[in-house]
Structure 1
Amino acid sequence: MHEGHGFSTRAIHAGQEPDPLTGAVVPPIYAVSTFKQDGVGNLRGGYEYSRSANPTRTALETCLASLEGGTRGFAFASGLAAEDTVLRALLAPGDHVVIPDDAYGGTYRMFDKVAARWGVDYATAPITSVPAVAARLTERTRMIWVETPTNPLLNIADIAGLAELAHDHGALLVVDNTFAGPYLQQPLALGADVVVHSTTKYLGGHSDVIGGAVVVGSDELAEPIAFHHNSLGAVAGPFDAWLTLRGVKTLAARMDRHCDNAEAVAEFLAGHEAVAEVRYPGLVSHPGHDVAGKQMRRYGGMVSFRHAGGEEAAVEVCNRTRVFTLAESLGGVESLIEHPGRMTHASAAGSALEVPSDLVRLSVGIEDVDDLLADLRQALGG
């Protein structure tokens, strides 16, 4: 039901039919660890133990699969738990992965410090160039892993081009869709095999829950993900699933406001003398603007910029804002500001993925845009 309906209708209704017992229009929080069996192996609705499945989590997983156009969704305790499960389910020791040369610091740490210890090698490549990614493939490459837009430089990958490259090589394409979300971008429809999310960000949308998700485009991939989801056990709890599902209901409305505000902020920063460079796919000057325009509905709520005054000036801007809150994370209704080199991407310091020290990252919220612009104006000193 609802699969033929529009995005917002599915966000509100997919997996969320009124409760058959009470008529409740919101799925209940099934705060339960185990379920009564009507005879040995005779399960009600397929539920036996909440690590394996929980009705509240099922509602979220069904909704996310619908929104991403996938065959099945899986909800996790965090975005990194989702990523780790994908690697363990779909790779084996000796396999090779190509990742972005500006990947999220936590993702880089996972490949460099965790996956490498059990025999999965990786190479970095500028994912803005399909030929550059192709040059890093080896006979052992089983996966291309991309973010688009990337965190924090907001580079854009050609999803369809990379999907063709991966499949021609016998590899999978995994897309971290956290920055765009399913409202703005549909990687599976463009040929990707797996989509991952930190649902903490735009899907949850209110900075009140940690979570992750995986959506797959085929039943063949769903089977190993489902096995490892249960076997590793880093599943979303029922209350976390319920909070995330509540956030998803307003995703489209929030994303349009995020985009409106981010566009105005990017234009303001592009004209400010203290700003050396603005990274926002919605700007015509952005090198990935055309590709983003083809594969995204709009350009998102994330904006990064480089301060003309260098690292200390960038840090000072972060310290001076009043409406933008100095904090890690992103995608909530409130605007956040951070210094990636010292905060979210500190784990990449000294590596090939080290971010510019003069970079500031903004998660543009849904406040009144005039207040956001005034705050940035005072923080930049004019």
Structure 2
Amino acid sequence: MTGFDTLAIHAGQDPDPRTGAVAIPIYQTSTYKQDGVGGLRSGYEYSRSANPTRAALEEAMAALEVGARGRAFASGLAAEDAYFRTACRPGDHVLLPGDAYGGTFRLVARVLANWGVEYTSVPLDDLDAVRSAVRPNTKVVWCETPTNPLLGIADIAGLADIAHGAGAHLVVDNTFASPYLQQPIALGADVVVHSTTKYLGGHSDVVGGALVAADAELGEQLAFHQNAMGAVAGPFDAWLVLRGIKTLGVRMDRHCANAERIAEFLVGHPAVDRVLYPGLPSHPGHDLAARQMRGFGGMVSFTLRGGEETALKVCGLVSVFTLGESLGGVESLIEHPGRMTHSSVAGSPLEVPNDLVRLSVGIENVEDLIDDLTSALA
């Protein structure tokens, strides 16, 4: 069996047959010369339908997520929209996590709901609650694990059993873990979704998304909707994500190691009320995360004893951490989810605590990161 890091460097990325180039070329073209009417050269006709650089990324994603077919999109939300339009019809029902990513919630609650899709939010770490929330028209159980931003852990295999028993898909947003730390299809998921903007790209210089289907037939249906809807990854964006994937394993090792040190530091700090990190033995999902993940990830959230005012001040007092949205880049980021990434769920059952701070822990020297937080929390 080929190891993960070998796949990350080589899957879908054979040297260019014409020149021998080791790096996949950026096929910056919209159209392709045809050898006669209907005579496609190597299967390419128009870059919305297929592009060699994007095809390399799609093959790599399928290999890393042990799936049958990968598709690359212009953003994570474009990937999500293509999946929902493939799997759902007006009148269908979707189960969402109780603390779903704000963009996913907005897509379902304010876009798909207008199309007739129903939804229910349920705590996915409570399998009995999930079973009770399933309806005859449930078509999708949507899972994030770890969740954003509360870092809850869901039992992927348990959710797969419930979803399949209801004739529904289990879709897992694997953005926080990356395929290096967790492979949901191996645990029973039908589809994996990524914002490739995050850990897969890894350098805060690209926006993209991906879907990987466990089943080839579903993969073909997703490919149809990708082409029909058109929100594809451009060749340069696909190339940037491919470049990032090559170092995913070594970067994730450092992200995890730094995050663990910072979580341990925060647990002992008098200004901190609660630390949310699945690598801590005190985390309610720690044992489950240890079973289904290779490591605990680079995301850490915490609440502050001084409430929202203190949380906002801390976000503004750092110097090594950068105040900004997104995550998964080599540089460390800090944000206030309630005012930033999750403002779209304000006033809803998914509203996040206003004293919550989220860290995307980068790969800098961890001592510098701890010193920065020490100063900001003082």
Query: Given the two structures, how large is their TM-score scaled by the length of structure 1?
Result: 0.98
Secondary structure class of the residue paired with 1:372: helix
Residue from 59, 67, 70 that aligns with 1:70 = 67
Residue from 225, 232, 235 that aligns with 2:232 = 235
Letter in 1 for 2:359: L
* In structure 2, C-alpha distance between the alignment counterparts of 1:327 and 1:298, rounded to whole Å: 25
Q: Report how far residue 45 of structure 1 moved.
A: 1.4
Aligned partner of 2:20 in structure 1 is: 23
* In structure 2, C-alpha distance between the alignment counterparts of 1:226 and 1:30, rounded to whole Å: 20
Residue from 272, 282, 294 that aligns with 1:275 = 272
Secondary structure class of the residue paired with 1:153: coil
Q: Report how far residue 328 of structure 1 moved.
A: 0.2
Is 1:245 equivalent to 2:242 in the alignment? Answer: yes
Gaps of 5+ in 1: none
Q: Report how far residue 130 of structure 1 moved.
A: 1.0
Aligned partner of 1:293 in structure 2 is: 290
* In structure 1, C-alpha distance between the alignment counterparts of 2:102 and 2:191, rounded to whole Å: 20
Aligned residues: 378
Structure 1 segments of 4 or more deviating over 4 A?
A: none
Deviation per CA, 1:137-173, whole angstroms, max 9, x where unpaired?
A: 1111011001000000000000000000100111110
* In structure 2, C-alpha distance between the alignment counterparts of 1:162 and 1:41, rounded to whole Å: 45
Q: Report how far residue 257 of structure 1 moved.
A: 0.2
Deviation per CA, 1:310-357, whole angstroms, max 9, x where unpaired?
A: 000001000000000000000000000000000000000000000000
* In structure 2, C-alpha distance between the alignment counterparts of 1:25 and 1:305, rounded to whole Å: 43
Letter in 2 for 1:135: S
Pairs within 5 Å for 1:156-195: 156-195=153-192
Q: How well do the aligned residues superpose, as a CA RMSD in angstroms? A: 0.5
Aligned partner of 1:54 in structure 2 is: 51
Secondary structure class of the residue paired with 1:214: strand
Aligned partner of 1:365 in structure 2 is: 362
Q: Report how far residue 44 of structure 1 moved.
A: 1.4
* In structure 2, C-alpha distance between the alignment counterparts of 1:75 and 1:133, rounded to whole Å: 30
Query: Given the two structures, how large is their TM-score scaled by the length of structure 2?
Result: 1.00
Q: Report how far residue 270 of structure 1 moved.
A: 0.5
Sequence identity (%): 69
Gaps of 5+ in 2: none
Residue from 80, 86, 89 that aligns with 2:86 = 89
Aligned partner of 1:254 in structure 2 is: 251
Pairs within 5 Å for 1:316-355: 316-355=313-352
Q: Report how far residue 42 of structure 1 moved.
A: 1.4
Q: Report how far residue 246 of structure 1 moved.
A: 0.3
Secondary structure class of the residue paired with 2:15: coil
Secondary structure class of the residue paired with 1:27: coil
Secondary structure class of the residue paired with 1:362: strand
Aligned partner of 1:118 in structure 2 is: 115
Aligned partner of 1:302 in structure 2 is: 299
Deviation per CA, 1:285-314, whole angstroms, max 9, x where unpaired?
A: 000001101100000000000011100000
* In structure 1, C-alpha distance between the alignment counterparts of 2:41 and 2:2, rounded to whole Å: 29
Letter in 1 for 2:71: F
